[in-house]
Amino acid sequence: MLREITDVVCRALLLCCLSLLLLALGGALACTPLVTDQGPTVQLDPDVDDRLGGTGVESGDVRGASEQIARALAGMRHGSDHPRIALAPVQNLSRFRIDPGLLKNRLTHELVQRARGRFELIPLDDATPTTTADYLLKTELRSLTKDNGRSTSDYLQYAFLLERPSDHAVLWTGMYETKRKSDVDVIYQ
């Protein structure tokens, strides 16, 4: 009987020692800093691909589309001497969650830089009426996606339309398009 009690006590002590060892090991692992592969933050040119993958709207697209459209609009002859162009809010009908203000701000900047007093811009929000503008510039993003489970491709279309608000006559259109394929899915925010 003494031997049975000794065995039970030995097992209990062994379990206690193992528990304490596991707790100590777990505590040591919890205090060990997580080592990652991340290096220092790197400054990138917004027109250069960041090599993260993905098929969505990139900074170079926002800049390229804005520059292309501003160049075309600034080179046009407008009906009046000093027309007022209202910029409607960007309509994002693509699958990508983007801040439409990025495109609108960049387009406004490019147009003001290239206008040189030939026309005025009126940035609109959803509540601003367009009655004071001679022209209305609308911007719409749309996308077409293909996915086979391994890779995804996206065709993105940035459509720009200049219309006369009084009769909705379309006076000019511009298009900027991209198509990308990627095996890597990334999150755009």
The CATH number of whichever domain residue 157 belongs to comes to 3.40.50.10610
Q: Which residues of 130-155 are buried (b: 16+ CB within 10 A; e: fewer)?
A: eeebbbbbbbebebeeeeeeeebebe
Q: For residue 28, is it within any domain?
A: no
DSSP output for the chain: -HHHHHHHHHHHHHHHHHHHHHHHHHHHHHHSPPP----------TTS--S---SS--HHHHHHHHHHHHHHHHHSPPSSSS-EEEEPPPEE-SSS---HHHHHHHHHHHHHHHHTTS-EEEE--TT---TT-SEEEEEEEEEEEEE-SS-EEEEEEEEEEEEETTTTEEEEEEEEEEEEEESS-----
Residue 38 belongs to a domain: no
Q: What are the angstrom distances between the C-alpha of 51 and each of 44, 47, 99, 136, 142?
A: 11, 12, 21, 37, 23
Q: Establish if 167 belongs to a structural domain.
A: yes
Judge whether residue 1 has pLDDT over 80.
Answer: no
pTM attached to this predicted model:
0.72
Neighbours of 94 (CB within 10 A): 20
Q: What is the pLDDT of residues 3-39, one digit of tens each?
A: 666 666 657 666 655 665 556 555 555 555 555 567 7
> Is 41 contained in some domain?
no
Asked, for residue 26, whether it belongs to a domain, the answer is no
Is residue 165 in some structural domain?
Answer: yes
Give the number of other CB atoms < 10 A from CB of residue 27: 10
- For residue range 101-155, what is the model confidence (pLDDT) as tens digits? 899 999 999 999 988 888 888 888 776 665 678 899 999 999 999 989 899 999 9
Q: Is residue 84 part of a domain?
A: yes
Give me the number of domains the chain comprises.
1
- The predicted-structure confidence for 57-74, as pLDDT tens digits, reads as follows 888 888 889 899 999 988
Q: Is the pLDDT of residue 175 over 60?
A: yes
User: Could you tell me the residue range of the domain that residue 146 belongs to?
Assistant: 59-182
